[in-house]
Amino acid sequence: MAEAARIHPVPLKIAAGLCFLDAVVAPLTLFLLPPSGITLLPPYLGLYAFIGLICMGGLWFMKRWSILSYIGLVGVNNMVMLKMGAWNPSNIALSSIVILIGLIYFSKME
């Protein structure tokens, strides 16, 4: 007999809190006004939002690659924003919460 596909239920903390919050916040970054003199920021934020939404989709389906990719995305984002002179501590706030909760559920992901 064929083996039934394993379905991992999405924990409520991930479903309601993280995915919804990040799916709402990520597109809003497209409308942020760039600091004066930084012309590459809007296209970069669009790319960051797009990749972030892909990571949230993977997190919704409980995939390990999603949290690892998100950690890498946040690290690269912080380095780019620091280099552009647009970094501030609030850049890490939401991302840290997503990463922390993702790592808590990492063992339950496939």
- Identify whether 47 is part of a domain: yes
Largest CA distance in the chain: 64
- Identify whether 1 is part of a domain: no
pLDDT(5) > 70: no
Q: Which bin fits 85, alpha (ψ -120 to 50), beta or left (φ > 0)?
A: left
- Identify whether 6 is part of a domain: no
- Identify whether 4 is part of a domain: no
Q: What is the pLDDT of residues 20-72, one digit of tens each?
A: 666 666 666 555 555 555 666 778 878 888 898 898 888 888 889 999 999 99
- Identify whether 84 is part of a domain: yes
Domain with 23 in it: 12-108
Q: Bigger pLDDT: 76 or 1? A: 76
Q: pTM of this prediction?
A: 0.74
The count of structural domains within the chain is 1
